Structure 1
Amino acid sequence: MSVTPKGNEPEKTSASHEDDANSYQNKYKPSSEFNTRDEYLEHELQIMQPKRWRPNLPFRDYRFEFEDTIPAMAGTIGKVVMVGAIAATFAAPLGLSDAFVLENVRYELLIVSIFIILFSGFILPTANLAGTHGPLIPLIPIVVAAGGHPMAFGLLIGAFGFILAITKGGSLLARLTSKGVCGGLLIYLGFIGTISQVKKLFAWAEAIDMAHIAFIVILATILLYALLEHFKKRWLAVPLSCLIGGVVAFALGAPFEFNTAPGLPNMNPAYWWGEDTGWMLGLPTLESFVVVLPFAVLAVAMWSPDFLGHQVFQKISYPQRTEKVQMNIDDTMLSASVRQTFGSLAGGANFTSSWGTYIVPAAIAKRPIPAGAILTAVFCIIAGLWGYPMDLAIWQPVLCVALIVGVFIPLLEAGMEMTREGKTTQSAAIVVFASSLVNPAFGWSLTMLLDNLGLIGCKERSANLTKMSRWVIPLIMFVVLTTVMAIVGMLPGIPALMADFRH
């Protein structure tokens, strides 16, 4: 029988007392004890003690605040739209109906809710929600034309993402990306996204012969955003812009009606992967995996700049001493990979990435991930089962202004903030230039290589890097990405190599 030395007991007791003293519950103070709401929210971020792979419980480890509803609302709107876009892009060439797309979106809303609560709300509170891979949408018609199977595509994305997560490759690439490169990437994404949404809103208005509605809605949104910025209430931009956009458009005569009735989608994976039901494709074969292999590599390679942009936006928006609650890139990749794998096996159409329409508004509102994540799951369940909110979320006056003020303008602002100091403008300009040539993944990998070699940007930073960080890893990333893009035909003016590989 062994006896624990008594001398060790005071140490354990002392450590236990110290942990209790540093706990979130002991450090919590009600908002009434602070001079401003901002001070209270910043204090909340600074006292949280998120636990990895252990239960994080509401009210014990974090609280729900009104501000959490804003990113949850924005995230739900973005989710409905993005999953709908991916499902429709895959379904159209296969001859599947709009009813199929709608049912799959509802199915995905329920699937994602489970993983949001499990990971971001419970055991990995610094993992951003697993959202939808927007930059992948233009590639999907090429995947379908090549004979790609959505389950094979999703499973390979999950597998490659899991490998990147457990090797901590995502955080490594983030460390190798300078402020100039990251800032330029945010500027490009913010500008291109804003322009695209403005064009979509005008296209919608012109299609109903009411082009003036788009102008008035956007002008009203600009004025609202400026006022919110002036009064430091920018976190209210998404709900108020959606309200103004919807009300103004409807008041000016834009047609709108609720069509999606309450209901429950088919929850049987066998239905979705049947040969005569669901996708009507059956289960994937070995050839199915070979066909989508280069697309899956590219999809996961595009995660790093996407995840990095979201993490940096948090760093800019949060106060000091909040490193513990900031998004962890590797944990986010892990949760996204698991969610992707199970979603694809179940029959969902979603291809996942970091959830930008959630994390950007959450950072603006100075809220940590977990509480808003649980509210997002609740909103997704409500939207999926009730149906009617889906109609409102995809109505162009609501959708476009929500994405502009909730995601793209904040990204633009963050990029400008990052390139304000130091020798960052050269790298930022090259990122924008190279991204315009091909896409953000190409621009990021090329500029990271040039920047780390010291050809552009801060020469002192380059000189302090190891050989591996200076050129070996950046060169490998650039070569792999460029090769994959050449195979699938994404390099302008260069024919796709995929056909040659398949014959």
Structure 2
Amino acid sequence: MSEAPFQTYRSQRKPRRSFDSRAAYLEHELSIMSPRRWRINLPFRDYRFELEDLVPALAATIGKIVMVAAVVAAFAGPLGLSNEFVVENVRFEMLIAALLFVILFSGLINPNANLAGTHGPMIPLIPLIVASGGHPLALGLMVGMFGLLLSVSKGGSKLMALTSDGVRGGLLIYLGAMGLLSQVKALNAWATGIDMGYVAFAVILSTIIMYALLARLEMRWLSIPLGSGIAFVIAIVLGAPFEFVTEPGIPHLSPGYWWGETTGWQMGWPELHHFVSVIPFAVLAVAMWSPDFMGHRVFQELNYPKKADKVLMNVDDTMGVASVRQAVGSVLGGGNLASSWGTYMIPAAIAKRPIPAGAVLTGLFCVIAALWGYPMDLAVWDPVLRVALIVGVFMPLLEAGMQMTRNTTSSQSAGIVVFASAFVNPVFGWSLTMLLDNLGLIGDKERGKKLRLMDRWVIPGITFAVLLVIMAMVGMLPGIPALMKIS
């Protein structure tokens, strides 16, 4: 009789001294794990904590503070809410994420589901959502509903299977390159704004040298804490202004406060027209999940040993957790828009660590940061923030994309993805190129011939058509006014 999964892990586990290198030990740990989907997974029985787990946990906490602040601030600006409101809501969101979802779901119940993070690509659309009469709670509930439908129908994994390596690689190259350029530009703008442009130059130069050395030593998993620490020290030594201003405390925890008429969001509970106005944006948000989730799983596939297929992120489960997290978080009063947590998954994959151990540490770090307050100031300081995102997210995205586009056919598809994404956005680029690629018009022509009719053009065609209509409705197509009337 075969052993149960937890017995298999414990019986096959070997101490570090049994291996010639740290990397070999970590790969063995990945290959013997058998996470239990939707059942209790316990530390030391089903997985262990390692020093490397601190890296994605730290990166995820920094990313969480930054991204949630950006989303909530994007809502707060058009609604006329204060910066104090933004800080308070971010702290509340971090407690929701940590206590109800990160530790509970990804750490204990389903280690194949990536942490539910923040939907960065939706940030530019938030002012349009508010202008069209949208309500944060209505938007959150609709995103949760549509996301759950996609998860239950396994639509996310289906779309991922229909996307070739060339399309995936091109998408990663575009996202990595654009993100890298945006962070360098933002850091330069910050330094110029305080009349200390040389600080940005020194920070970026030191980051390039550090990243190159870590790549040479095969220790890139250290790039986020080491890079952020070096950036902080260099900026302080060169005289850049910094101070701690967020004091320890507990945010408001009552949904009644957050959805009151004169407190919190000062909008009250949503009505029917609020739900109607956010439907196109909710559909678009969920549609954006597939390429985002796909990119995160690719990092595991590139960095994990081939025998570690049991610990790979399950796209549909991750969508399900993100959907529930979105709905519950919104009802409680949070302003976050959920997605797969990239600032966790990418460093974790590079460090060759599975999801659950780092998830538990991430949850603890988020609670500490939310209650203590001061770490939030450090995480959002430009030198620390920009370097963390550059070395922890965008450089790895760029490198992974290049690894996936080494032959002529994949590079052709990748080029079209980059072109189409630059023309409109990554959702347009992904859906259009997936259709062209599966039809055999670009990329590997033999691949298209092997696909069923449904997979070759029906599903990709419907996906592209639906997204095209939605983008036209909300005014995302260049030169075409929004078809949806904005009040």
Q: TM-score normalised to the size of structure 1?
A: 0.96
Give the match for residue 317 of structure 1.
Answer: 303
Give the match for residue 192 of structure 1.
Answer: 178
Distance 1:160 1:201 in 2: 36
> In the TM superposition, what whole-angstrom CA distance separates every residue of 1:273-327 from its partner, at most 9, and x where no partner exists?
0011000000000000000000000000000000001011110111111110011
Give the match for residue 81 of structure 2.
Answer: 96
Q: CA deviation at 1:19?
A: 3.1
Give the match for residue 217 of structure 1.
Answer: 203
Give the match for residue 269 of structure 1.
Answer: 255
Match of 1:82 among 67, 70, 73: 67
Distance 1:302 1:186 in 2: 14
Distance 2:157 2:166 in 1: 17
Q: CA deviation at 1:123?
A: 1.0
Q: Secondary structure at the match of 2:310?
A: helix
Given that residues 121 and 370 in structure 1 are in contact (C-alpha distance below 8 angstroms), is that contact kept between their aligned partners in structure 2?
A: yes
Give the match for residue 124 of structure 2.
Answer: 138
Match of 2:282 among 283, 296, 318: 296
Distance 2:5 2:404 in 1: 38
Distance 1:110 1:373 in 2: 14
Note the 1:333-482 alignment, pairs <5 A.
Answer: 333-421=319-407, 423-482=409-468
Q: CA deviation at 1:421?
A: 3.2
Root mean square deviation, CA, Å: 1.0
Distance 2:276 2:306 in 1: 47
Give the match for residue 40 of structure 2.
Answer: 55
Distance 2:228 2:393 in 1: 13
Give the match for residue 5 of structure 1.
Answer: none
Aligned positions, number: 486
Given that residues 122 and 285 in structure 2 are in contact (C-alpha distance below 8 angstroms), is that contact kept between their aligned partners in structure 1?
A: yes
**Stretch deviating more after TM superposition (365-374 or 312-321):** 312-321
Q: CA deviation at 1:22?
A: 5.8
Q: TM-score normalised to the size of structure 2?
A: 0.99
Match of 2:18 among 27, 30, 33: 33
Any gaps of 5 or more consecutive residues in structure 1?
1-13
Distance 1:180 1:320 in 2: 20
Given that residues 20 and 26 in structure 1 are in contact (C-alpha distance below 8 angstroms), is that contact kept between their aligned partners in structure 2?
A: no
Any gaps of 5 or more consecutive residues in structure 2?
none
Distance 1:332 1:422 in 2: 33
Is 1:255 the counterpart of 2:241? The answer is yes
Q: Secondary structure at the match of 2:300?
A: helix
Distance 1:176 1:361 in 2: 26
Given that residues 21 and 27 in structure 1 are in contact (C-alpha distance below 8 angstroms), is that contact kept between their aligned partners in structure 2?
A: no
Q: Percent identity?
A: 65
Is 1:234 the counterpart of 2:220? The answer is yes
> In the TM superposition, what whole-angstrom CA distance separates every residue of 1:72-105 from its partner, at most 9, and x where no partner exists?
0000000000000000010011111000000000
Q: What letter matches 2:270 in structure 1?
A: P
Distance 1:154 1:361 in 2: 28
Would you identify which runs of 4 or more consecutive aligned residues in structure 1 move more than 6 Å?
Answer: none
> In the TM superposition, what whole-angstrom CA distance separates every residue of 1:442-482 from its partner, at most 9, and x where no partner exists?
00000000000000000111000000000000000000001
Larger radius of gyration: 1
Note the 1:173-188 alignment, pairs <5 A.
Answer: 173-188=159-174
